[in-house]
Structure formats: C-alpha cells, structure tokens
Structure 1
Amino acid sequence: MPITPFHFGPGAAIHAIAPKRVSFIAFCAANVLMDVEPLYYMRTEQFPLHRFFHTYIGATLIVFLTVALFIAARAVANRVRLPNLFGWRELSTVSVTIGAAFGSFTHIVFDSIMHSDIRPFAPFSDSNLLLRTIPLDILHWSCVLAGAFGIALMLLRKLRRASC
C-alpha cells in the first residue's frame, strides 16, 4: 500500500532528536511525493510499481521537488492567506532540505528491504542488495517503535518546558 504511515515513524524519531534541524513535515511530504509513483502504477495496473522515483537518483529529485514546493508555498503564503498548520512558515530551508533528504533516502532503504521490484541503483545496476535482509515484521515494528520513541521524546520535552 503506498503512502504507508510506517515510513513516518523514523521521521518522528529523527525530528525529536534534532527538532530545529530536521523538518518532520518535509520528511512526510517527501515520503508522500515518492509514493505517488506506485499509486499511479497501481491505479493503472502497470507493473513494476516502483520505478524511477524509487531509485537514489529519483529520491534526490524528490528532495529538490519537496524544497521547491516549500519555497513556492512560502512565496504564495506571503500574498494569499494560507493556514500556518504545524508552524510550517517558520521552518528554515535547511531544515526542510534535511527533512526531505532523510525522508527520501530512508524511504528507498525501507522499500528496498520490502519490495522485490525496486532497483535502487538504477540505471547503474539492477541489484537490490537489501531485499529481505530484515524480516518484514521486524522492519514494521522498528518503524512503529521509532515513531513511539519520537512522540515520547517530543512529549517529554513539551512537559519539561511547561513545568519550567
């Protein structure tokens, strides 16, 4: 299933560890943008589902696209009233870039472990050295636990700030 929330767990953990340096919004946006590709191929019943954007070259372009969309949204927000959900207007371009990069590249790593149709090093190689290196239940639980860790750390910080 494309756009799986499992991908977001590690993003929550990374953001919780470095909240000012890593944008969780950009992490999630890059993951969603990347999964538009298999969603399209799934809807049109074309296989393989994971193609260009599920390569490291494609993931790099997703990073640039995510940052470009953020910059464009910020420019539009200066002229049109856009809601500032989750404080996205205050994010720096650097934190968006880092979040998008983590989002794109972890997406490739996790999907390489899980999906047999991914060729992460294309066009240089058709190999997928990560396929099934970790059992899927361990991969999924690791993502869930990373998300739980991230949420717990963010809540702990918030409680600590509220008590001061």
Structure 2
Amino acid sequence: MPFTPFHMGPAIVVKALLRGSFSLMVFGWAQVVMDIQPLIVMISGEGHLHGFSHTYLGASLIAIFSALTGKYLSEVSLFILGFNAHWKIKIYWWVAFLSAFIGTFSHVLLDSIMHSDVEPFFPMTTSNVLLGLISTQALHQLCLYSALVGGVLYFGVNWVQKFNIQRKGGE
C-alpha cells in the first residue's frame, strides 16, 4: 500500500466484528511500525524498500514489539483524548497481541499483492505467489469499501445494542 491508512479499512471490519476483542489503536500502531523500514529506505536511498519488515518472520517480531509498546501507548492516548479519564479502560495483553499480529500479517498480505519487491516467505523462499492476485486498483477499492462497510457495521451494532437496552428498560 502506498499509505498506511489504506490498511485501516479491513481493520474497521475486524473491529466491528470483534468489538472489545480487537484494538484498532494497537493495529494502527503496528501499521506505522511496519512502514518505518521502508520510510528509512526512501529517505536514505539505500536498502531494500520492502525488506525484512515485510516478511512474515519480520512481521512476527514487529507484532511483538507493537503489542508490548502499543498497549501502553493506546491507554495513554485514550487518557489524553479524554476517553479514559479514570484509567478504567484497559487493553488486555491478549487483545494487544491479537491486534498487533492481525495488523502486521495483514500488512504483509496486502503489500505482497501489489509490490513486486515483497518476499513474504523469506528466508524459506524469495518468491511472491501473492503478487498480482488482484489488481492494485481492486485492492485499493477493497480497502476503501471495507472501511465503509466496517463503519456501517460498527455503528449499526452500536445502534442495535442501545435500542435493545432502551427497550428492556421500558419493559
């Protein structure tokens, strides 16, 4: 993906389905960490653009780092934004790790489809069987439309839950 935000589209669907069992903030942090290595290559002009960080082995290491740091970064960010005034919102460790691994592995998957220099299964093989699975345009559309579907699902489920709570309160 040319921009990390494209990766957030499918994550919004996952958030809508898993709700509190998935942290969109930890997922997003994992996306940023994944693209640090390509950013350094673009700035320096040296190295392999989608190198070790864009392999499943590299993504596993990045997921561990992202979970360990993202849990606390997310909790502090929620506090600063005013959503966690009394530190009641806690991201469970298993949620942080699940979110980080979904984040890094989906990042490799999506980038493998559109970037010819990604070697997702390195060091076992340098081939990329996922390259061109669908067109880049279709991949971008998939990411954008999944964000819309995920948003509708998320807010639709919230509305249904509130409606059911109000209905039960009136009985």
Same fold (TM over 0.5): yes
Identify the range of structure 1 (42-51 vs 111-120) with the bigger mean alpha-carbon deviation: 42-51
2:108 matched to 1:108? yes
- How large is the Cα RMSD of the aligned pairs? 2.2
Identify the range of structure 1 (94-103 vs 153-162) with the bigger mean alpha-carbon deviation: 153-162
CA distance in 1, matches of 2:29, 2:91: 14
Shift of 1:116: 0.7
Gaps of 5+ in 1: none
Question: How many residues align structurally?
Answer: 159
Paired AA for residue 25 in structure 1: M
Matched-pair contact (CA < 8 Å) for 1:3–1:31: no
CA distance in 1, matches of 2:73, 2:152: 30
Larger radius of gyration: 2
Query: Counterpart in 2 of 1:131?
Result: 131
2:56 matched to 1:59? no
Gaps of 5+ in 2: 167-171
Shift of 1:33: 0.5
**Is the partner of 1:103 in helix, strand or coil?**
helix
TM-score (norm 2): 0.83
Residues 70 and 15 from structure 1, CA distance in 2 versus in 1: closer, same or farther, beyond 3 angstroms? same
Query: Counterpart in 1 of 2:169?
Result: none
Paired AA for residue 83 in structure 1: I
CA distance in 1, matches of 2:38, 2:17: 30
**Is the partner of 2:99 in helix, strand or coil?**
helix
Residues 106 and 160 from structure 1, CA distance in 2 versus in 1: closer, same or farther, beyond 3 angstroms? same
Matched-pair contact (CA < 8 Å) for 2:112–2:118: yes
In the TM superposition, what are the counterparts of 1:1-164 in structure 2 within 5 Å? 3-71=3-71, 73=73, 83=80, 89-163=89-163, 164=166
Determine what percentage of the aligned residue pairs are the same residue. 34
Matched-pair contact (CA < 8 Å) for 2:8–2:28: yes
Identify the range of structure 1 (31-40 vs 84-93) with the bigger mean alpha-carbon deviation: 84-93
Matched-pair contact (CA < 8 Å) for 1:3–1:32: no
Matched-pair contact (CA < 8 Å) for 2:63–2:97: yes
Residues 127 and 86 from structure 1, CA distance in 2 versus in 1: closer, same or farther, beyond 3 angstroms? farther
